[in-house]
Homo-oligomer: A and B are copies of this chain.
Amino acid sequence: MGSPAGFQNEIYLNGLGDVRPELPADLTVLERLAGERLAPAAYGYVAGAAGTESTARANREAFERRRLVPRMLRDVAVRDLSVRLLGQTLPVPLLLAPIGVLAIMHPDGDLAVARAAADLGVPLVVSTAASHSMEQAAEANAGGLRWFQLYWSSDRDVVVSFLTRASAAGYTTLVVTLDTHTLGWRPRDLDLAYLPFLRGIGVTNYFTDPAFQRAVGGPFDGDGADREAAIMRWAGTFGDPSLTWDDLAFLREHWDGPIMLKGIQHPDDARRAVDAGMDGVVVSNHGGRQVDGAIGSLDALPGVAAAVGDQITVLFDSGIRTGSDVIKALALGAKAVMLGRPYAYGLGLAGEAGVRHVIRCLLAELEIAMALVGVTCPAEITPELLTST
């Protein structure tokens, strides 16, 4: 990252040097490009959302309704984008959201993402359903800051195995996804015969888990009939719709670091997270992939932030596409945000270089936008920066 204005300069120098970037600088264009260039099932898996995709649209509309009011003549020459949360210092108020099965976008999958994240100083959240094992991702992420995302299996041995592996592989923080105990109704996947594409690719992080293998009676041979049975078993034990707030104590027993609950949309649920001794919540609707017709995640953020105050850490996810989006989420109470689909499109379109492009563009745009609205660090981003129309 180098200098305070490093993100900004890097891009502009490219421009001056006549190097046309391989991918567009407006990251909202990537979705269309991905739709044109990638395999339909792969593109559909990432771009798709629940039902009529109304929630995914609401996520973006919630950003559009809120507008920044720039302030002038504040000395913004020196910027510091770092944030301190959960006992850690993040270089930027941004993490890469957990996304499963990334290898459908590019064979380098999580490894490419992990390398780019480490190199550019952006924390990474590796998914339970990662295409590579979390140990491989950790190795590729050497020197980086990484968290682990848990899909809470109905098989408790599997849960413990994942937590143990994550801790051993240097994942500092646990992100428990609450909104996917049952898989959402996703027409793009259903229309393209859904999970079969997993066969040729797999959710390696899950399939190679020792506890999972014990449960299904050993490793898969890749093409055998037992593989289908394993997938069925995987689908069957993947989530646990019977979980309640009391079950969170189980996680505390098996995880020493901070625990974040991902998928919170209601203030009362945020308060229960405080009561349950959690370290924070991620206000997220899973990018609109779970419930059709749901509230835009940014619309849910202010209520959650007000409900918990400074008691626990609030992060935001679902709909971040631009630097200004990051500022808006921070102004409404998030300490940092997670970026999802855009880096997956970058991965699909140009591998690791694409992931790097997406991260660099977003951070440059964020740093420039912060300077232009008149703030030098995340702490100066307050609700006064925003208005609504």
Q: How many copies does the complex hold?
A: 4
Across the interface, do A372 and B290 meet the contact criterion of CB distance under 8 Å? yes
Enumerate chain B residues within 8 angstroms of A323, measured Cβ to Cβ. Answer: 51, 185, 292
Across the interface, do A16 and B232 meet the contact criterion of CB distance under 8 Å? yes
User: Closest approach, in angstroms, between the C-beta of A338 and any C-beta of chain B?
Assistant: 17
Interface size of A by CB at 8 A reads 100
Across the interface, do B73 and A191 meet the contact criterion of CB distance under 8 Å? no
Enumerate chain B residues within 8 angstroms of A77, measured Cβ to Cβ. Answer: 240-242
Which of A158-213 touch B at CB < 8 Å? 178-179, 181-187, 189-196
Known: A63-B293, A72-B179, A73-B272. 8 other contacts (CB 8 A): A12-B235, A24-B191, A52-B322, A58-B389, A291-B324, A291-B373, A293-B327, A295-B387
Contact with B along A269-291 (1 / 0, CB 8 A): 10010000000000001000011
Which of A25-72 touch B at CB < 8 Å? 25-26, 28-29, 50-52, 54-55, 58, 61-72
Enumerate chain B residues within 8 angstroms of A225, measured Cβ to Cβ. Answer: none
Across the interface, do A187 and B25 meet the contact criterion of CB distance under 8 Å? yes
Across the interface, do A182 and B387 meet the contact criterion of CB distance under 8 Å? no
* Cβ-neighbour of A372 out of B12, B184, B373, B387 (below 8 A): B184
Please tell me if A371 contacts chain B, counting CB pairs below 8 Å: yes
Across the interface, do B25 and A191 meet the contact criterion of CB distance under 8 Å? yes
Among the stretches A119-127, A260-268, A306-314, the one at the interface with B is: A260-268
Across the interface, do A194 and B269 meet the contact criterion of CB distance under 8 Å? no
User: Closest approach, in angstroms, between the C-beta of A294 and any C-beta of chain B?
Assistant: 5
Residue of B nearest to A24 (CB): B191
Interchain CA distance A186-B15 in the complex, whole Å: 11
Which of A236-264 touch B at CB < 8 Å? 240-245, 247-248, 261, 263-264
Please tell me if A94 contacts chain B, counting CB pairs below 8 Å: no
Across the interface, do A291 and B68 meet the contact criterion of CB distance under 8 Å? yes
Interchain CA distance A232-B19 in the complex, whole Å: 15
Please tell me if A351 contacts chain B, counting CB pairs below 8 Å: no
Across the interface, do A295 and B67 meet the contact criterion of CB distance under 8 Å? yes
A-B contact pairs, 9 of them (CB 8 A): A16-B228, A19-B193, A20-B193, A58-B389, A72-B261, A72-B264, A73-B247, A74-B244, A295-B387
Residue of B nearest to A262 (CB): B72
Please tell me if A364 contacts chain B, counting CB pairs below 8 Å: yes
Interchain CA distance A246-B181 in the complex, whole Å: 53
- Known contacts A16-B231, A369-B185: A265-B69 contact under CB 8 Å: yes
User: Closest approach, in angstroms, between the C-beta of A20 and any C-beta of chain B?
Assistant: 5
* Cβ-neighbour of A196 out of B18, B25, B75, B178 (below 8 A): B18
Across the interface, do A191 and B21 meet the contact criterion of CB distance under 8 Å? yes
Across the interface, do B51 and A324 meet the contact criterion of CB distance under 8 Å? yes
Across the interface, do A70 and B196 meet the contact criterion of CB distance under 8 Å? no
User: Closest approach, in angstroms, between the C-beta of A39 and any C-beta of chain B?
Assistant: 15
Across the interface, do B389 and A292 meet the contact criterion of CB distance under 8 Å? no
* Cβ-neighbour of A15 out of B67, B71, B196 (below 8 A): B196
Across the interface, do A292 and B51 meet the contact criterion of CB distance under 8 Å? no
Please tell me if A140 contacts chain B, counting CB pairs below 8 Å: no
Please tell me if A146 contacts chain B, counting CB pairs below 8 Å: no
Interchain CA distance A51-B364 in the complex, whole Å: 11
Most chain B CB inside 10 Å of its own CB: which residue of A52, A58, A196, A269: A52
Across the interface, do A368 and B184 meet the contact criterion of CB distance under 8 Å? yes
